Structure 1
Amino acid sequence: MKKRLYILAALMIVASMILSACGGGAPAEKVKIRWFVGLGTGTDPAQVTVQEEVVKDFNASQDKIELVLEIVPYDSARDTLSTQIASGAGPDIVGPVGWGGSNDFYGQWLDLTDAIAATKFDTGIFDPALIKFYQVEGEQVGLPFAVFPGAMYFVPSMFDEAGLAYPPQKYGEKYVLDGKEVDWNWETVTEVAKRLTIDINGLNSTEEGFDRAQIVQVGYSAQWQSVLSVATFYDGAEKIYSGDKKGEFKSTIPDGWKDAWKWYYDGMWGDQPFIPSGPLNAAPEFGNGNAFNTGKSAMGLTQTWYTCCLGDFAKAGNEFQLGIQPMGADGKVNGRIDADTFRIWKGTKNPNEAFTVLAYLITTGGDKLLPAYGAMPAIPSKTQAFFDKKATDYPFVTQESWDVFNQGLAYPDTPSSEQYQPNSIEATARFATFFDLMNNTEGLDFEAEYAKLVEDLNTIYNK
């Protein structure tokens, strides 16, 4: 009996030594990473379900990190996040969120450069222009995830009726106008749009007798664009303020943006209008602000997300296709991309683990998340599934048209038209007031109102 006990004890000692040598004992505690959702999309119940599934998938895929989902209602998300950050208890990851939502926390986002290097993440899966898109003040504050590149939506039947060629569908191609090849730029768009703007008598806006008070079709609509995106599309991306601290900030709106707003205003209120004015755009027959969807606008420049909202257009038997974004006066394409992604709070105690989660969300997890968010993938190899789904909604749209969006990934607005501005909420509101004034005021003293805008911004920036 004693001999058996001695042998058993010896075996237990040996087993203990083996376990010790193999790193046995109490398992190491997992690193908790908090994922904050609510500053942008992601709070819809169906989206929450998918996000919970992605969290479960990630946690099952490895044994070192525990991902914890934190859903906050959109209306209270900004205040909640502000409180958390102020107390030093901010989440590790925030998103998905666009530039506008993230600007309220400017300076709070981690530079991902070191984490990308430490984890050996391959940024080569993205278009280089999109990597640069997320570089702010020399820091890589995000990586591409959900993207919404721009394109010129157009109605082929309206072009056919006017005897006009369709917009080009490949960047670098020319447009044929009156038998001559010309650049697809804003000058060309303007001329084409005028010929596509029709009054109740069937006259276009270039013809004598055109009745601007009874327009039944417009040639172009800046579909759901802000005043800043109108300028970016027209003249290209620019930083619109200078200075590093309060008291030194100054509005630096480029002259080309001012030209863009003059062009836009003239397009509504000039002698040969081709853009719906505020009152016309707001009329029920023009869709209460959704002009292209009514089938009364021949062209509308906007982003991929607009494919969410053309159900009435298609039900009415209308068809649209997609053309490339126009060039500016400098011969460069003035592209725009709306985009959502995940950001890491720079106060995180576990930057590499947080980045491991972020990398999962924008790649493997993105396969489930992106359809839930209704977004186009930033990874080119994954876009076809998105367009296959869109093709079921709009079977008349050609593959050549969908490919315009793929091409558009190379033309982001860097910096974004939703770029950070000092005191950004009030500054953005002031721009919106200026835009509303242009849309709804015939005979506006443009120079005076523009000067007042700049003066007000200088005050707002330095409050």
Structure 2
Amino acid sequence: MKSRFLILCLTVALAMVLMLISVNIMAAKATLSARVPIVWFVGYGTGTTPDQVAAQQQVVDNFNASQSTIQLTLIVTDYSHARSYLQNAIVSGNAPDVVGPIGIRGASEFHDYWLDLSPWITATGYDLSDFDLVLLQTFLAEGGGMSGLPICVYPSFIYYLKDAFDQAGLAYPPHQYGQPYTDTVHGGAWTIEKLEEVAKLLTLDNAGRNANHAFFDKDNIIQFGFVFQWLGGWSMATLFGADRFIDANGNAQIPSNWRAAYQWYYAGMWNKFFIPNGPYRNTDWFGNGNEFASGHIAMALAHSWYLGNFSLSNWDIAATPSYNGVTTAQMDLDSFRILKTTKHPAEAFQVVAYLTREAAQALNDTYHGFPARQSLQTAAVNNLKLQYPGVDWQVLVDSITYADIPNHEGYLPNAFKSFQRLEEFGGQLQYTQNLNVNEAMNQLLADLQWLFHEKFTYLPLLWR
């Protein structure tokens, strides 16, 4: 009798527990269904490795737990599929709300599709004072207002091998912008011309003769003085000043300073021999395309994202030289953006604000980028000092101020094909001996003009 009564009591208790669980589940579902759904898409840049996906999911979980009005969902695709995914999602009406981290070039392929965040920045009182003004100007220069908020920056500067300078008996390049090159014999203003002069002295053939020597052997070079490290055909000219390939009327152009840059670059490879040409670049001795990492390049212009792609000792970084009195240190930048197709712009902005503010430290650590927020930069520099002791990281910080505006990866019509054509032009310069560079630039101009006005319809024309 007692056992039956005990069983009855346990049954009633279990039923009550199950009922309470059911009620709680239904309440939770009701709460979730009442939330505004926001989708965050990652794939158009960094953020796609397993550890990064896990870290980003933690950010999502933290955000969802921090409030009760938005349900944030993370979608990640491989970079190779990101462009087609985003195109198809927009066409099918299933576009994500938030996209990022995404670079300037990636964003330019969807130039007309980014929401101007200015009204929400103003309405919510989002504080922009923690960002260097040059970062905000980068977005405004694209047109369409504040089309994104920055998370990571990747300034460029000169990487150099101390041993190469020591063996040549030359002073190191200046670390402070505006300071001269202080070599006792070859000193002077730190300009493009001075960089070339020094680079020739650092370029050596297999007999140890530099590029100025009467018997220098251009066919047996074992060390070059300078290289553009992993900079595309559209970006290397920025060393000669910021500009763009499209004029105010939407027509293609090659600015005069960029024409001078391409002539200088080509002569450096094929006539003056202080820059490795394509055949030299793709040898084992020069790193098969990762030239500075070979240890046989004295100076390289590269971005901060190049860190981790070489294992050398006794290197440092220096200021970018000036051209005609103007210094331009091109900068790459990752941001978060909102597509115009979102049904919930206010909630999407709340997510972007969280990603670039509360989650900024965690995401910078995840993406291994340099923080866009100035308040996080001291800690980032201290971490770099631990990883790479003896390097003057103030150069990296100072380089941000000299960023190119407009950005070298900024808007071009028919962006995907236009950037492809510019990349082909860079390869043409690297691999074609006895090239008529003026004719090649004129052909590039004609091709860009055609591409800018080609009818392309892979996306709806709603905002074109």
TM-score class, shorter-chain normalisation, is 0.7 to 0.9
Check conservation: 2:233, 2:424, Cα contact below 8 A: no
**How far does residue 250 in structure 1 lie from its aligned partner after superposition?**
2.1
1:251 counterpart residue number? 252
Q: Distance in 1 between matches of 2:248 and 2:78?
A: 35
Check conservation: 2:44, 2:82, Cα contact below 8 A: yes
Quick one: which of 339, 353, 361 aligns to 2:355? 361
1:68 counterpart residue number? 73
Equivalent AA in structure 2 for residue 462 of structure 1: H
**How far does residue 192 in structure 1 lie from its aligned partner after superposition?**
0.5
1:111 counterpart residue number? 116
* Worse-superposed segment, 215-224 or 82-91: 82-91
Check conservation: 1:203, 1:210, Cα contact below 8 A: yes
Quick one: which of 376, 384, 387 aligns to 1:390? 384
Q: Distance in 1 between matches of 2:186 and 2:170?
A: 12
Change (3 A) 1:462 1:187: same
2:266 counterpart residue number? 265
* 1:226 lines up with 2:232 in the alignment: yes
Check conservation: 1:47, 1:373, Cα contact below 8 A: yes
TM-score, normalised with respect to structure 1:
0.88
* Worse-superposed segment, 215-224 or 138-147: 138-147
2:318 counterpart residue number? 323
Quick one: which of 56, 62, 82 aligns to 1:51? 56
**1:95 counterpart SS class:** strand
Q: Distance in 2 between matches of 1:429 and 1:349?
A: 33
* 1:42 lines up with 2:37 in the alignment: no
Q: Distance in 1 between matches of 2:144 and 2:37?
A: 29
**How far does residue 384 in structure 1 lie from its aligned partner after superposition?**
3.2
* 1:278 lines up with 2:278 in the alignment: yes
Q: Distance in 1 between matches of 2:310 and 2:223?
A: 17
Change (3 A) 1:289 1:29: same
Q: Distance in 1 between matches of 2:131 and 2:148?
A: 12
Q: Distance in 1 between matches of 2:262 and 2:184?
A: 28
Q: Distance in 1 between matches of 2:253 and 2:394?
A: 36
**How far does residue 370 in structure 1 lie from its aligned partner after superposition?**
1.5
* 1:206 lines up with 2:206 in the alignment: no
1:264-291 alpha-carbon deviations (Å, 9 max, x no partner): 0000111x31101111111111000111
2:11 counterpart residue number? none
* 1:77 lines up with 2:78 in the alignment: no
**How far does residue 133 in structure 1 lie from its aligned partner after superposition?**
0.8
**1:262 counterpart SS class:** helix
2:398 counterpart residue number? 407
**1:284 counterpart SS class:** coil
Q: Distance in 2 between matches of 1:183 and 1:70?
A: 50
Check conservation: 2:174, 2:182, Cα contact below 8 A: no
1:109-154 alpha-carbon deviations (Å, 9 max, x no partner): 0101111001101100010011111112251111221111111001
**How far does residue 452 in structure 1 lie from its aligned partner after superposition?**
1.3
1:366-398 alpha-carbon deviations (Å, 9 max, x no partner): 211122211111112212333333334323x33
1:315-354 alpha-carbon deviations (Å, 9 max, x no partner): xxx311010111111x111111111111011222222221
TM-score, normalised with respect to structure 2:
0.87
**How far does residue 241 in structure 1 lie from its aligned partner after superposition?**
1.2
Query: Gapped runs of 5+ residues in structure 1?
Result: 1-25
**1:220 counterpart SS class:** strand
* Worse-superposed segment, 214-223 or 441-450: 441-450
Check conservation: 1:119, 1:352, Cα contact below 8 A: no
Q: Distance in 2 between matches of 1:310 and 1:189?
A: 23
Quick one: which of 430, 448, 457 aligns to 1:439? 430
Quick one: which of 148, 151, 155 aligns to 2:154? 148
1:18 counterpart residue number? none
CA RMSD of aligned residues (A): 1.7
Equivalent AA in structure 1 for residue 353 of structure 2: A
Q: Distance in 2 between matches of 1:442 and 1:259?
A: 18
Q: Distance in 1 between matches of 2:106 and 2:453?
A: 21
* 1:186 lines up with 2:192 in the alignment: yes
Check conservation: 1:144, 1:378, Cα contact below 8 A: yes
Quick one: which of 443, 449, 463 aligns to 1:458? 449
2:334 counterpart residue number? 340
Q: Distance in 1 between matches of 2:74 and 2:108?
A: 22
Percent of residue pairs identical: 38
Check conservation: 2:149, 2:352, Cα contact below 8 A: no
Check conservation: 2:269, 2:276, Cα contact below 8 A: yes
Check conservation: 1:168, 1:184, Cα contact below 8 A: yes
Check conservation: 1:196, 1:204, Cα contact below 8 A: yes
* Worse-superposed segment, 344-353 or 332-341: 344-353
**How far does residue 243 in structure 1 lie from its aligned partner after superposition?**
6.0
- How many positions carry a matched residue from both structures? 423
1:100 counterpart residue number? 105
Equivalent AA in structure 2 for residue 107 of structure 1: D
**How far does residue 194 in structure 1 lie from its aligned partner after superposition?**
0.5
1:90 counterpart residue number? 95
**How far does residue 34 in structure 1 lie from its aligned partner after superposition?**
1.1
**How far does residue 179 in structure 1 lie from its aligned partner after superposition?**
4.5
1:428 counterpart residue number? 419
**How far does residue 408 in structure 1 lie from its aligned partner after superposition?**
1.2
* 1:449 lines up with 2:449 in the alignment: no
Check conservation: 1:380, 1:406, Cα contact below 8 A: no
Equivalent AA in structure 2 for residue 340 of structure 1: D
